Structure 1
Amino acid sequence: MSTSHHGGGHRRKRHDNNYRDDGEMHDTAEQKLKHAILRLGEVDPEQEVTRLATQICEQSSSITPTVVEAFRIGVTEQPFKIPYYAMLLRLLSTSPAASEHETLQGPDFGKQILEDFWKGFQAFLDKLAWREIRLCIHFFAHLSVAQVISLPSMYDLIRALIVVLDEFGVSHGRAKHAVRCVCEGLMIAGRGLENDPSTNITDVVDAVRTYIQAEAKLKRLVRPVAGNFSGDVSAEVADEFLESALSALEIMRATGFPHHSDCFPRPYAELAVDGAVIFDLPSVLVPPEVIELDGLSPDNEDFIKKAEWAEFYIHLFDNDVTPDPTTPVGYTLRCGLLDVVDIFEVNRKECARLLLEYPKWTLPGTFHRAHDGPHETVVGKNWQLECTIIEVILGQLFLLPEPAHKSVYYISLITELCKLSPHNVGPAVGKSIRKMYNLLSDGLDVALADRVANWFSIHMSNFNFIWVWKEWIEDLNLPLQHPKRVFMRRAVEYEIRLSYYDRIVKTLPDQMQSPDACVVPPGAPGPAFEYDDPASAHHDAAQSVLNLFRGRARAEDVMTHLEELKNTLETTDSDQNINTIVRSIAVQALLHIGSRSFSHFLNAIERYLPLLRNLAAGGILTASGSSYEARNDILSAVLAFWKHNKHMVVIVLDKLMQYQIVDPTDVITWAFLRAGTDVGGTSYQSCNSFQWDLIKGALDKANGRVAIARRKLAVLRKEDDDNAARAKANDGATMDIDETKPGR
């Protein structure tokens, strides 16, 4: 029974613990404490830790589960606070000073928290939640430095992870996560582990180095810049993630893992330690990898595919502007920023705010922002925060073969950063665009070049399409197919999709508006019905077909009319050309009906699927004798109708493949052989890069069908196995019954 009221009358009051008498909800003591732990560091982290420890110790023992849950959430969702959570746990584990009041503080309380926290870590391990596993290892490593966790048990945990590299047939994705956990754990706790006589870091580092050197074959196809794979420009503008981790680890080891490292704060370093460590990490085994490729959902399957490749991050700025990611501090800062970008993907506004506040969680002097004014120079530091953030985000966006998240997330995140700090982030974005534009001449991968054009156009659309195009006027002297000129055409094409033709043209210099520049399309995007002109040779025939479509005639009636049209059409060409003309008339007339909107297009396609299938099979025009030529004619008719809007060609062909009117192999063959020549005209039309979209779309469609077939096959195999097991069980039961008959 509902207690809500929709109208007059008095409001019913709630009197449970979560509500005040006025009906408004308030937090319980446990919720307040949990929020206090999660909000740690809003002003001054070190001062707040001491006050928070006192607040926790004043509670009753029943508060422990709440504290553990807050630690778990804070460590895995706010990793930039991990050193301060380690300090908090160190304080909670310290024996309290003599006092009249008994508190929770002491080794037993710290041990209880860690025991419960370990259960959560074991759950992450069982699920192979690698990001949470890695961040928990950060927490354990800091606690080992703070002398809360024993160094031998920390070393045993790292050894358990390094064993993954020795597994037979270990996937690169699994090994990559294990390597990150090991390297980052050693970077934090390495000094103590190096000095402990029961540990041997050399074996661990050698195992990491051996694996990384053996996986060179995974790196060739995903380099962002073409090269001979032995140095050259590809090594100067990008670095592989695991190689950076190994480089940073070896540098730290060579310097003896300095206790006062500039990589991360150690606020617990000055705390007095009373007695021995309180906790030994239990022994663990990393669960085996579950291989169920046939039964994976599309999202999981895509994730596994991405994880199996090496990760190359592009350098956009010099090392005096952003930290070198192959150094300990550079690698640590990049990982920290990447974690924020990854975790807060669900809230880009919050992510942007946290990124701009990131210096709060780094050592003083790490970053210098332009509006900070005079500052004390720190040798080798004082990097520009905004440039570092943009470099990290774009490094993730420009990963091959695909970024971890949708491209639109990274693009919108940069937009939010510009809104929060336009005077500082804006110049960093401009410098990044210019850097990526210059890389086009150095062999930037074609997929990345297209991704840069897409990012550029969307970013410009959020800021009134304002860009200094005149900087690139001199590049109009380059050959027509030069990557920079292709980029200009592609970027303008994308901008027109996001706005209007006339508006975008006005933003360009006069030199780029010239037809000879081949930057701007010859006209606004729109349909081009070849037979709409009354002077056209087949205008009347096309109008008769068009009238049938407008009248929503049955597909069978249209087929009959097309057969009659073929027989009566007068032409001096061969029969094959007659068939091509009739197919072109039918397809273009159908597209003309659907050109008003996307919903009109879908309705037209779905209503006349039998007609399209008949056309593709050559069923109506039997004299052609070739379904291959029929499908090519359909594709060419689509291109002719949407020759001024190549994006619509991609959309229409995607639907034709979805409804199996044409096959992906048809589209790929046609794109290579005919898509660039079927429509004549200006050089702009013949040199655009929409063939890339056609081929990629066809490949994606084919791969999608393979994934669907594999999942269906997995279901059938499982059903077959279940049926076989059931039959075997029934046979066994029958045999048991037969064996009992003589004894009856």
Structure 2
Amino acid sequence: MSYERRGGYYNQGRGRRYREDDYDRRREQHETPDDKLKSEIIKFGEVDPNEELPRLEIRIRDHIPRNIPLLSEAFRISVTEQPFKIPYYATLLRLLHNPSDNPTPDEVPLGRLILEDFWKGFQGYVDKLAWREARLCIQFFAHLTVAKLISAESMLALLQSFTAVLDEFGVSNGRAKRAALCAGEGLLIAGPVLKDFSPISSNEIINAIQAYNDTMASQKWLVAPLSTVHSDAIAHENTIELLDMLVTTLRKLNESDFSEIENCFPRPYTVYPPYDPSVLQPYALPSVLVPPEAIEMDALSPGGEETQVKKDEWPEYFPRLFPSDVSPDFDNPVGYVIRTSILDIVDIFEVNRKECARFLLEYPKWNLPGTFKPKPGSTVNVEPAAGKDWQLESTVIETVLGAYLILPESAKKSIYYIGLITEICKLSPSTVGPAVGKSIRRLYSSLADGLDVEAARRFAEWFAVHMSNFGFQWVWKEWVPDLELTVQHPKRAFMRRAIEFEIRLAYHERIYKTLPEPMQAPDAYTIAENGPTPAFEYEDPSNPHHDAAQAVLNLFRGRAKAEDVVSHLDTLRESLESSDEPNVDSRVRSIAVQSLLHIGSRSFSHLLNAIERYLPLLRNLSGGGATSTTGIVGSAEARSDILGAAAAFWSYNRQMVAIVFDKLMQYQIVDPTDVVSWTFLNGTGLGQLTEAGPMNLSAFEWDLLRGAIDKANGRVVSARRKVVALRKEEDDNRAKANAGTGVDTNMEVDLETKPGADNPHLQVALKAYSMLTKEQRLVLSKTLEGFLNCLAPAPTAPHPNLHARTVITEATWENRANWGRDEWNAWETWGWYKQFCREYAPYLRTYVNTLEAVSFGRFAGVEDAAGDMLKKVWNVATGQE
């Protein structure tokens, strides 16, 4: 092809591309004038809100034709997605209430029209129980009440409609908490006006919130991030629960007649004189009724007894990491406003963590001058406000970490909070970096002061991921003196977990080199000398079963059929029996499973391919599908051997143990109950760097238990959905058939005829659902029984690993500096028991009577301190206390 030809072809292609671009450009939706105005309202204040206010007012007034629904929608979006701008949007609406240049006698102010339409959107939020949007709209109304645009009487009635929710019979924690926040934060903002209107109204609202909050004392104890196990007292003063913080703030403001609210946030609308009531009456908010919670019935039985399992919503505790001169105190009204505003930003901008990081670092712009220290190098001279002058970065990091560490689980995925902190660091590394470092040191120091084990696990996860984003640079030598502590001490356990997570994110050699020499030593029990490689038991030629394992390996490498491998294993079994080998069946399973995992150890895809190819073999080993008369007899022991062989093979890589167990459950080689039983009896200390010790649960064992429980719960949910879908399909088909034949669907039918009795697919689905429900109950029962055997074992322990009980009392807790292996083991196991009860509380409540009868019967009528505490945790989690 000639040069000219090539050039012509390229130009032709480029011409086509231009024509396509022109076509796409013609298809683009050009912004209409309405769209541009809406965008201006939403983006208002990006430079200087005070300077932009009069310009935006004129822009809205001059817009023709007037589009009230568009304007109110722009205000709703702005208020519910940019809550830090709410005072300025209230000011903008105040300006829009001013009469036009040539007013008519019956003219309705533009601001009033927008407000009336805004209310319709708020009513929609309430009807849909969109709590966050409703709460932020109430904040907007509260500011407008202070600006005299909304009547105090109607605002008070609105808040009282939300406090009425707290008196509902059987109100859920989540519903009551959200309703209390709506009423409390509305009072916090509009308090000066509402107290002038009705001096007792503020006390009534505060007392209503306090009365409900008092009923949550036991639940608060169970989810406090810093606590003990011997009493229901919160062990540390540097934590506070969200409603406690709200009530404390409201009481402090109420005592000063809400005079301190002037220092909490800007109120630019107060510079304008109030309207003469004879000229403009304040808007009276219509009455509102908060709708009840929707109860979803599964209709899995004619009576509809089965309901969807809803996640419990517990009290929200936040830890304090910095002193009062660095971040605001919990009992400071300004501190409540700042923390909740930051939490709203974090919640709203989950979809874009980069934008969230930017808004968080720009947050001082929307506060009163002097609230935060100016940025380094800033030319703006602002006098520090009395009692303020806090560090923005420390306040933000403390609040984000508080949301991340909420128990039993955070509102968002853990990776969101971790990624958000990373983005904040990238935007301002010189100021955010020191705040992150101080937070790490503060959390580390609290590990031995009662920091919950689940919070400690998340702390280790965040630490490792954060280090991976910044070159794994940390001053490990600061923690070298802690190597003198007992191996099971929480600080040493944190080091091991954090380093293990780091290795997963990089590789062993790199992490090994970042540690100081004392931590590299084998007797430091901090990092293994070798990486997380497989531990093939039969790889050493000196092993007596090396040749047998190599023969099996060769079959796998040659992709032999599963039947041929089974036949070979039968021959191997006979050979071992003739040589008087003890535990022949276990040995054969070990050789087969470890050889198969060795084939799949090259990558995750190799593992899946190996398991899927030899599923018949694995089922034969577990007793689920023997193809020969001499096949290995299946039993719970067989499945335990399979799990043990997999765990031994990956003993240096505990993450792979969890992955393999999950795949074995997924392909139904083993049941979740098998994993639970194996974990309690065999999992302790697997792959750990510590010396062998008594039975206890670490984060690794908890991961295995949680994986098994989630698998059982997930299967029930899936089966339930299938039954509901089949029943709906059957009902639709029956309705169509009746409509086609003209049968009266209201006529009486034979009550003995069960719906779906002639539908084989539905019958199969119902049978599967029933079986999986039993499995779910058994998994929960075995887990509960396992914890009870660990923490309060019977005099005749069912397994030698179960140690003599170590009961933590108030006296021993105060002496924890001298604790040894058994005390710290017991402490961690207690922590995971609490996490089990609170995380799976909705499921435990479903079977509460059955589980209690089976597990807690032996404590009836017996004085047992450990048994009493076990029952107390159980009662709180299941709603009996």
TM over 0.5: yes
**Relative to structure 1, is the Cα distance of residues 156 and 563 closer, same or farther in structure 2, using a 3 angstrom cutoff?**
same
Please list, as runs of the form range in 1=range in 2, the aligned pairs for 1:188-199 lying within 5 A after superposition: 188-197=189-198
Inter-partner Cα distance in structure 2 for 1:561 and 1:392: 61
Kept in 1, the 8 Å contact 2:600–2:609? The answer is yes
Encode CA deviations 1:20-65: one digit per residue, 9 max, x unaligned: 9xx9875332222112111111121112111100111111243323
Encode CA deviations 1:216-275: one digit per residue, 9 max, x unaligned: 222222111222697966341211111111111111111101275211111100112333
Whether 2:558 is the aligned partner of 1:543: answer no
Inter-partner Cα distance in structure 1 for 2:361 and 2:289: 39
RMSD of aligned C-alpha atoms? Answer: 3.2
Which residue number in structure 2 is paired with residue 614 of structure 1? Answer: 620
Which residue number in structure 1 is paired with residue 339 of structure 2? Answer: 334
Kept in 2, the 8 Å contact 1:367–1:382? The answer is yes
Kept in 2, the 8 Å contact 1:671–1:691? The answer is yes
Q: CA shift at 1:716, angstroms? A: 6.0
The answer to which of 141-150 and 431-440 deviates more is 141-150
Q: CA shift at 1:713, angstroms? A: 5.0
Whether 2:482 is the aligned partner of 1:481: answer no
Which residue number in structure 2 is paired with residue 522 of structure 1? Answer: 529
Please list, as runs of the form range in 1=range in 2, the aligned pairs for 1:286-325 lying within 5 A after superposition: 286-292=290-296, 294=298, 304-306=310-312, 308-325=313-330
Corresponding letter in the other structure for 1:323: P
Kept in 2, the 8 Å contact 1:457–1:491? The answer is yes
The answer to which of 227-236 and 212-221 deviates more is 227-236
Inter-partner Cα distance in structure 2 for 1:410 and 1:606: 36
Inter-partner Cα distance in structure 1 for 2:410 and 2:355: 21
Please list, as runs of the form range in 1=range in 2, the aligned pairs for 1:345-424 lying within 5 A after superposition: 345-369=350-374, 371=376, 376-424=383-431
Corresponding letter in the other structure for 1:275: D
Corresponding letter in the other structure for 2:716: V
**Corresponding residue to 1:629 among 623, 632, 637:** 637
Q: CA shift at 1:376, angstroms? A: 2.3
Whether 2:48 is the aligned partner of 1:44: answer yes
Inter-partner Cα distance in structure 2 for 1:388 and 1:537: 62
Kept in 2, the 8 Å contact 1:93–1:105? The answer is no
Which residue number in structure 1 is paired with residue 683 of structure 2? Answer: 675
Kept in 2, the 8 Å contact 1:58–1:103? The answer is no
Q: CA shift at 1:78, angstroms? A: 0.5
Inter-partner Cα distance in structure 2 for 1:256 and 1:678: 61
Structure 1 residue runs without a partner (length 5+):
737-744
**Relative to structure 1, is the Cα distance of residues 662 and 735 closer, same or farther in structure 2, using a 3 angstrom cutoff?**
closer
Encode CA deviations 1:293-343: one digit per residue, 9 max, x unaligned: 7599xxx989x525x211111111112211112321111111100010111
Which residue number in structure 2 is paired with residue 157 of structure 1? Answer: 158
Which residue number in structure 1 is paired with residue 648 of structure 2? Answer: 640
Inter-partner Cα distance in structure 2 for 1:281 and 1:473: 63
Encode CA deviations 1:478-519: one digit per residue, 9 max, x unaligned: 001001001111111111111111111111100101111011
Which residue number in structure 2 is paired with residue 742 of structure 1? Answer: none
**Helix, strand or coil: the match of 2:240?**
strand
Inter-partner Cα distance in structure 1 for 2:419 and 2:549: 46
**Corresponding residue to 2:714 among 697, 701, 704:** 704
Inter-partner Cα distance in structure 2 for 1:260 and 1:330: 12
- Alignment length (residue pairs): 720
Kept in 1, the 8 Å contact 2:242–2:317? The answer is yes
**Relative to structure 1, is the Cα distance of residues 13 and 88 closer, same or farther in structure 2, using a 3 angstrom cutoff?**
farther
Which residue number in structure 2 is paired with residue 30 of structure 1? Answer: 34
**Helix, strand or coil: the match of 1:248?**
helix
**Helix, strand or coil: the match of 2:262?**
coil
Inter-partner Cα distance in structure 1 for 2:558 and 2:474: 48
Please list, as runs of the form range in 1=range in 2, the aligned pairs for 1:101-120 lying within 5 A after superposition: 107-120=108-121
Inter-partner Cα distance in structure 2 for 1:237 and 1:51: 46
Encode CA deviations 1:460-494: one digit per residue, 9 max, x unaligned: 01111100000001000000100100111111111
Inter-partner Cα distance in structure 1 for 2:403 and 2:692: 32
Corresponding letter in the other structure for 1:406: K
Q: CA shift at 1:681, angstroms? A: 8.6
**Helix, strand or coil: the match of 2:225?**
coil
**Relative to structure 1, is the Cα distance of residues 624 and 543 closer, same or farther in structure 2, using a 3 angstrom cutoff?**
closer
Percent identity between the aligned chains? 55
Corresponding letter in the other structure for 1:371: P
Corresponding letter in the other structure for 1:385: L
Which residue number in structure 1 is paired with residue 865 of structure 2? Answer: none
**Helix, strand or coil: the match of 2:55?**
helix
**Corresponding residue to 2:69 among 65, 74, 77:** 65
Kept in 1, the 8 Å contact 2:620–2:631? The answer is no
**Relative to structure 1, is the Cα distance of residues 19 and 56 closer, same or farther in structure 2, using a 3 angstrom cutoff?**
farther
Inter-partner Cα distance in structure 2 for 1:580 and 1:629: 9
Q: CA shift at 1:734, angstroms? A: 6.7
Kept in 1, the 8 Å contact 2:138–2:182? The answer is yes
**Relative to structure 1, is the Cα distance of residues 733 and 262 closer, same or farther in structure 2, using a 3 angstrom cutoff?**
closer
Q: CA shift at 1:571, angstroms? A: 6.7
Kept in 1, the 8 Å contact 2:253–2:261? The answer is no
Q: CA shift at 1:561, angstroms? A: 1.7
Which residue number in structure 2 is paired with residue 211 of structure 1? Answer: 212
Inter-partner Cα distance in structure 1 for 2:456 and 2:31: 51
Structure 2 residue runs without a partner (length 5+):
1-11, 301-306, 750-881
**Helix, strand or coil: the match of 2:259?**
coil
Please list, as runs of the form range in 1=range in 2, the aligned pairs for 1:439-518 lying within 5 A after superposition: 439-518=446-525
Encode CA deviations 1:266-291: one digit per residue, 9 max, x unaligned: 11001123333342211111111012
Which residue number in structure 2 is paired with residue 264 of structure 1? Answer: 265
Inter-partner Cα distance in structure 2 for 1:557 and 1:120: 69
Inter-partner Cα distance in structure 2 for 1:32 and 1:132: 24
Which residue number in structure 2 is paired with residue 344 of structure 1? Answer: 349
Inter-partner Cα distance in structure 2 for 1:319 and 1:197: 34
Q: CA shift at 1:379, angstroms? A: 1.8
Encode CA deviations 1:646-697: one digit per residue, 9 max, x unaligned: 1101110011112221122211221121123677997399997522321222
